């Protein structure tokens, strides 16, 4: 496994070594010992989640607050998504900045999202299966988010706004500047 640092401190791209032959392929998707050695982080994932979505579905930008904050390791097992993270750590040099990466079933990349980030994705393929590991349990009362089309963040979702499909809940999230009021 190769781990690449992004410009946002603590956010890593995991690139697996893929072994292919006439039968298909194999790769190790996560190894805690290797992850710790390459990042210095000792993560204990406690919950795995999966979503299935069609083209244009945008989920996000979500995060958990307080003691229920979550670090995530995300990947796509079918299809393609544009994955986006926003740094919410007020003491960070990249506070308010975002990073995006295409995750798909061809590159098999994963993105490690530390605690203190908002996270979302939009489906670029006809269908996508999105998997993620969390280091803390989901807690409904700690759920929060940021509006996907916040002009201050200026995220390019790679699709026309008219193509996007959002939940009612995601459509009424606050803007980034409203988080700390």
Q: Dmax of the chain from CA atoms?
A: 57
- Say whether 62 is catalytic: yes
What is the C-alpha separation between 81 and 58, in angstroms, rounded?
Answer: 9
Task: Considering the candidates 25, 62, 109, 148, report the single residue annotated as catalytic.
Answer: 62
Per-residue pLDDT at 1: 85
pLDDT at 181 over 90: no
In total, the chain counts a number of residues equal to 181
Average pLDDT, the chain: 95
- For residue range 30-73, what is the model confidence (pLDDT) as tens digits? 999 999 999 999 999 999 999 999 999 999 999 999 999 999 99
- For residue range 93-116, what is the model confidence (pLDDT) as tens digits? 999 999 999 999 999 999 999 999
pLDDT at 74 over 70: yes
Q: Hunting for tokens 């919410």 — which residue is that?
A: 88
- The residues spanned by each domain of the chain are 2-178
What is the C-alpha separation between 145 and 169, in angstroms, rounded?
Answer: 9
- Say whether 138 is catalytic: no
pTM attached to this predicted model = 0.93
Per-residue pLDDT at 22: 96
Query: 130: how many CB neighbours lie within 10 A of its CB?
Result: 22
Task: Considering the candidates 98, 109, 119, 132, report the single residue annotated as catalytic.
Answer: 132
Residue 104, both tokens:
């798909």
Using alpha carbons, list the distances in angstroms from residue 157 to 34, 41, 120, 167.
32, 30, 10, 16
Q: Tell me the CATH architecture of domain 2-178.
A: Sandwich (2.60)
CB 169 within 8 A of CB 120: no
What is the C-alpha separation between 30 and 96, in angstroms, rounded?
Answer: 29
């Amino acid at each position: 496994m190769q781990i690449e640092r992004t410009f946002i401190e603590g956010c890593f791209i995991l690139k697996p070594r893929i072994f292919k032959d006439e039968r298909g392929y194999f790769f190790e998707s996560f190894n805690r010992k290797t992850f710790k050695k390459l990042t210095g982080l000792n993560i204990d994932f406690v919950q795995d989640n999966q979503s299935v979505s069609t083209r244009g579905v945008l989920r996000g930008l979500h995060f958990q607050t307080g003691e229920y904050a979550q670090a995530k390791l995300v990947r796509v097992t079918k299809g393609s998504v544009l994955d986006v993270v926003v740094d919410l750590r007020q003491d960070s040099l990249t506070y308010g900045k975002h990073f995006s990466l295409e995750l798909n079933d061809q590159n098999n990349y994963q993105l490690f999202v530390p605690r203190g980030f908002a996270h979302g994705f939009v489906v670029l393929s006809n269908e996508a299966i999105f998997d993620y590991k969390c280091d803390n349990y989901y807690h409904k009362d700690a759920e929060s988010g940021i509006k996907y089309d916040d002009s201050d963040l200026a995220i390019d979702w790679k699709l026309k706004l008219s193509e996007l499909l959002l939940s009612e809940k995601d459509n009424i999230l606050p803007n980034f500047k409203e988080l700390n009021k």
